[in-house]
Amino acid sequence: MTGHVSVAAAARLHLGFLDLNGSLKRQFGGLGLSIASPQTRLTLAAAEENSVEGAEAARARAILEKAGAALAPGKSFKLTLHEAIPAHAGLGSGTQLALAIAAAIRRLEGLLSDTGADAALLQRGARSGLGAGLFDQGGLVVDGGRGSQTRTPPVVARLPFPEDWRIVLIADPEATGLHGENERQAFKALEPFSDQQAGVLCRLVLMQALPAVVEADIGAFGEAIARIQEIIGDYFSPMQGGRRFTSPRVEAALTALSNHGAAGIGQTSWGPTGFAFAKNEATARALVKFVGERSGSALDASIAKGLNRGAKIDAVYAKFA
């Protein structure tokens, strides 16, 4: 029997950390949202030797070799990448690529799925369990942070995102968010985070953002997200040139959008991608048009839907006599 496995994994928005203080012996925690586009799409099949084709090939090869050695020792694979989430844009590209490759190997080899173990194996989720949680479940999730015995930060709440709501994404092609060793050094250099700030963030998530999603109240949701982003943005600003946003152009566009009726502006992770929420498709289209008229070709504006399911994993097998 032979065949192949196809995986489609969606990008995610990191909407904010919950507790960067850690005095309760758990640190980080976060609020994240799975979005329908962009996606990483790949196909994996057995082969005589490892080979990788398509977008992000060098990055994917290293993941394939590490995951293959652990999950299917002695086996080789052909990996084809049809589409990739943009790297270092704050959309979770590395985590989704890693988890998609590991999931494909598991399905092809008939192994039980274990996203948390794959995240730990491939060193994803050092500070956040959002990538793994959204890979499995989609929707809007809260992860409970990292404790001393944590393998992958656990999802402690998950809600479906309202079907009518839209997300306007603003990308700056000339900017890059912090990643890798620079990101690790940035966290080490930041000043201590106060208990009071952590308490405000947790209250905003539990008592405003999550209930607003259940009640489809985009005004209250947007207010909560905007305030979370202000607190987190101010905290990270020393690592972002003294700004709440990595890209000054994205910051200017989002400020204008907020004054033009957008809800909940912010930056996902270290950016540079920014976001804003709209109550429906028509409102989102109007906001994108406004950004285009204001910034011309300097920024890329697009519309995404929330995605209320996890990664799509399809296996196709062929039997030979």
100-121 tens-digit pLDDT? 999 999 999 999 999 999 999 9
- Which letter, b or e, does each residue of 256-280 get, where b requires 16 or more Cβ atoms within 10 Å of its Cβ? bbeeeebbbbbbbbbbbbbbbbbbe
Distance in angstroms (rounded) separating the CA atoms of residues 277 and 25? 33
pLDDT of amino acid 321:
39
Range of the domain at 39: 2-161+308-318
- Are residue 106 and residue 170 in the same domain, yes or no? no
Q: Are residues 128 and 157 located together in one domain of the fold?
A: yes
pLDDT tens digits, residue range 151-196?
A: 999 999 999 999 999 999 999 999 888 787 888 888 888 888 999 9
pLDDT at 276: 98
CATH number at 127 reads: 3.30.230.10
Do 132 and 21 belong together in one domain?
Answer: yes
Taking a C-beta distance cutoff of 8 angstroms, is the pair 21, 195 a contact? yes
pLDDT at 34 over 60: yes
Q: Residues 187, 296: one domain? A: yes
Same domain, 125 and 225: no
Distance (Å, rounded) from C-alpha 210 to C-alpha 301? 26
Say yes or no: 130 and 210 in one domain. Answer: no
Phi and psi at residue 73, to the nearest 5°: -55, 135
Q: Are 219 and 92 in a shared domain? A: no
Task: Assess whether 53 and 81 both reside in one domain.
Answer: yes
| Statement to judge: residues 157 and 172 lie in one domain | no
Residues 36 and 170 in one domain: no
Q: Residue 237 belongs to a domain with what CATH number?
A: 3.30.70.890
Q: How far apart are CA 104 and CA 108, in angstroms?
A: 6
pLDDT of residue 159: 98
pLDDT above 70 as % of the chain = 98
Per the structure, how many domains does the chain have?
A: 2
For the entire predicted model, the pTM comes to 0.94
143 and 191 inside one domain:
no
Is the domain of 34 the same as that of 156?
A: yes
Radius of gyration of the chain (CA): 20
- Joined together, the tokens standing for residue 271 give 């950016």
Average pLDDT, the chain: 94
